[in-house]
Structure 1
Amino acid sequence: MTSLPLRLARGLDTVLDRTVAPGYTRIGPAIRRRLPTWPADPEPGALAGKVAAVTGATSGLGVATAQGLAKLGAQVRLVVRDVDKGERVRAEMLRRLPGADIVVDRCDLADLDDVRRFAAEFGPHRLDVLVHNAGVMPATRTESPQGHEMTMALHVLSPILMTELLRRRLHGHDARVILVTSGGMYSQVLRADDPEFLDGTYSGTTAYARSKRAQVELLPVLDAHWSSDGIGVNATHPGWADTPGVVDSLPTFHKLTGPFLRDAEGGADTTVWLAATMPSPDTGELWHDRRVRPTHLLRRTRTGDAERELMWDWVRAQIGTS
């Protein structure tokens, strides 16, 4: 399949993406890796001497991402709420990667005050990779300690606040910030008029997808905001991966699609690749399987600049930054 002309290979890749089911399952990377358009893996040791932080790194995609970064030589900081669980993950990773440099940091990502505490106490003077992976899909409407709807607090407010507070450590050395989003966001329009999901009947899956839509819609704004410090920001979506979060939150989906789901390493592949590939990738983009993807598949979800700016104004007001 590697002998396919580039134009045909790109067309096949696009078809896999637009038809969703084949491309998002393990079938997608199985085919794409054999195409001439598949980018090369990062060089061994590509992250040697660099520091990477991964939030939500106690299961699923978070563990796979952290392990992938450690394999490439990074010092990896597991940013977790449950330190005991984080230490168990660290011990298992060291068993698999003897000599790896892995540290456990405590932070409740849903609590903006704890994010501020974490950033103030963050040890390294330099941070090269910041992966915002922590996620939640509550069954009922739940609020953070500051009174924000939980998915919006954890997926939007917390990552932006943490990055803002760590800008000094990210500044000036090709640092990369990566938001792990979800293909579920394709079903939702940006609700800048109701970011806290106060109107209508609450649905955890809808709230999750709305918050992921907000992540993606804010990419160009965040890219412009942080680019002056030499900080690149992108989002990745993992496709359909077999993780504890899917089992717990979407049991019917997992039962129906289980044999076709990617493993966690497959879901984390593009995040790890973006963190380490050279030269630096384009920023302010949504990526899946190592290629920039469209942020909208449906006309009804398209967002105007006014809605995007309204959401950005709301975010800044909630986290207290300029």
Structure 2
Amino acid sequence: MSQASGSPDHGIDRVLDRTVVLGYSRLGFAIRRRGWAEGDPRRGALTGRTAIVTGGAGGLGEATVLGLARLGARVHVLVRSPERAAPAVARIERLLRREGLVPDLRVEHCDVSDPAMIDAFADDFCAREDGSTALDVLVHNAGVMPPERTESVDGHELSVATHVLGPIRLTERLLPALRRSERGARVVFVASGGMYTQPLPVGDPEFEHGTYQGAVAYARSKRMQVELAPILDRRWSPDRISTSVMHPGWADTPGLARSLPAFRTSTRLLLRTPEAGADTSVWLAATDPAPPSGAFWHDRRQRPTSYRASTHPGDGETEKLWRWAAAAAGLERP
């Protein structure tokens, strides 16, 4: 496993990870953070590079935009509501200017659960500047947790449409720009440690059976992201695209307050800041050399994808789910 420079030894880190409460909380981040300065991306690491962050209107997305912009990136903030994103962008710009930096943030309108909006945005982006626009970083951060089963505009369960199908389609449609990255592009999926509670839902990927629970649907879709990462890496790596999945731990975000208010209340003193939750996304996007591709990360270290045999995919299950996801996302070939 890869280890960030100066991070705790494997024994301490493993204990933090297995206890969950310690590893996912602000305490785990603080312990692991000691000594990371040597492994931090260098100042200006993303100068002259272009990034897209989905769901950048607040919480982890806002923190990710801030982290990438601090390193010099031009950041396109991809959101369902440009009006709702305006305060977050203004906050980031004010902060960067106070730090003596010149922000370059651009708000883009796109609902990543809507294939038509994905296609329109990607076609426009790839055609900008006479088709010379390069995309260096793509962070799939947009998230939803509907309390009742809800479908996207094309009839897919909303969690899987937003977290799995939309990001796959968006990446595929942005391939012309990603291929133009001089140093190789990086794609980062923001998952959740909650996926550890769920097996891969091969037989019911859209939660059509049983009693729907928003938190369970969310965790299932995040399990899909993690298990599909190696397949997506094999698909996109010939184009010099690195693919990673990370989970942020427990971060205090507006989304958590809306979706899981009781959990937030009971763990509020333990929750990380959004900046701490977004740290690994920014690190994966900017550290040099690039971390191993196709892996699952938390606090700058590769993590196991399952801790229980009951959540580990059986033979052929991941490939079966991939065939479904590729078809549902509208890919021409799996």
TM-score bracket for the superposition, by shorter chain length: over 0.9
**Corresponding position: 1:192 with 2:214:** no
Gaps of 5+ in 2: 1-5
For residues 128-147 of structure 1, what are the alpha-carbon distances to aligned partners after superposition, in whole Å with 9 as ceiling and x for unaligned?
Answer: 00000000001000000000
Residue 131 of structure 1 aligns to a residue in which SS? strand
Which residue number corresponds to residue 251 of structure 1?
261
1:7-26 to 2 correspondences below 5 Å = 9-26=9-26
Which deviations, in whole Å up to 9, do the C-alpha atoms of 1:223-261 show, x marking residues without a partner? 000010000000110000000111111111101100110
CA distance in structure 1 between the aligned counterparts of 2:276 and 2:269, rounded to whole angstroms: 14
Q: Is the 1:32–1:38 contact (alpha carbons within 8 Å) kept by the matching residues of 2?
A: no
Q: What is residue 154 of structure 2 aligned with on the other side?
A: 146
Assess if the C-alpha contact under 8 Å between 2:58 and 2:85 holds in 1.
no
Identical aligned residues as a percent: 52
1:206 and 2:216 matched: yes
CA distance in 2, matches of 1:167, 1:158: 14
8 Å contact 2:8–2:31 — kept in the other structure? no
Q: Residue 44 of structure 2 aligns with which residue?
A: 45
Q: How does 1:37-76 map to 2 (within 5 A)?
A: 40-76=39-75
Structure 1 gap ranges (5+): 1-5
Partner of 1:30 in structure 2? 30
User: Could you report, residue by residue, the CA deviation over 1:3-50 in whole angstroms, capped at 9, with x for unpaired residues?
Assistant: xxx998221011101111101000011111225x88611000000000
Separation in 2 of the partners of 1:310 and 1:283?
A: 22
Say if 2:164 and 2:224, in contact at 8 Å, map to a contact too. Answer: yes
**Displacement of 1:67 after TM fit?**
0.4
CA distance in 2, matches of 1:211, 1:78: 23
**Cα offset for 1:305?**
4.3
Change (3 A) 1:231 1:8: closer
Moved over 3 A (4+): none
Which secondary structure does the structure 2 equivalent of 1:91 belong to? helix
Q: 1:63 is aligned with what amino acid?
A: E
* Secondary structure of 2:322 counterpart: helix
Answer yes or no: is 1:260 the counterpart of 2:242.
no
C-alpha distance in 1, partners of 2:57/2:312?
34
Specify the code of the residue in structure 2 equivalent to 1:119.
A
CA distance in 1 between counterparts of 2:274 and 2:256 reads: 11
Distance 1:45 1:202, change over 3 A: same
SS of the residue 2:186 aligns to: strand
Contact 2:7/2:34 (<8 A) preserved:
no
Q: Equivalent residue for 2:105?
A: 102
Contact 2:248 2:278 in 1 (8 A): yes
**Residue deviations 1:160-202 (CA, integer Å, cap 9, x gap):** 0000011111115310000000000000000111111111111
Q: Is the 8 A contact 1:39 1:290 kept in 2?
A: no
Distance in 2 between the 1:105 and 1:39 partners? Answer: 34
Larger mean CA deviation between 282-291 and 305-314 belongs to 305-314
State how far apart, in whole Å, the 1-side matches of 2:68 and 2:7 are. 32
Aligned to 1:3: none
Greater shift in the superposed pair: 87-96 or 282-291: 87-96
Count of matched residue pairs = 316
Q: Distance in 2 between matches of 1:268 and 1:189?
A: 25
Q: CA RMSD in A?
A: 1.5
1:112 aligns with 2:112: no
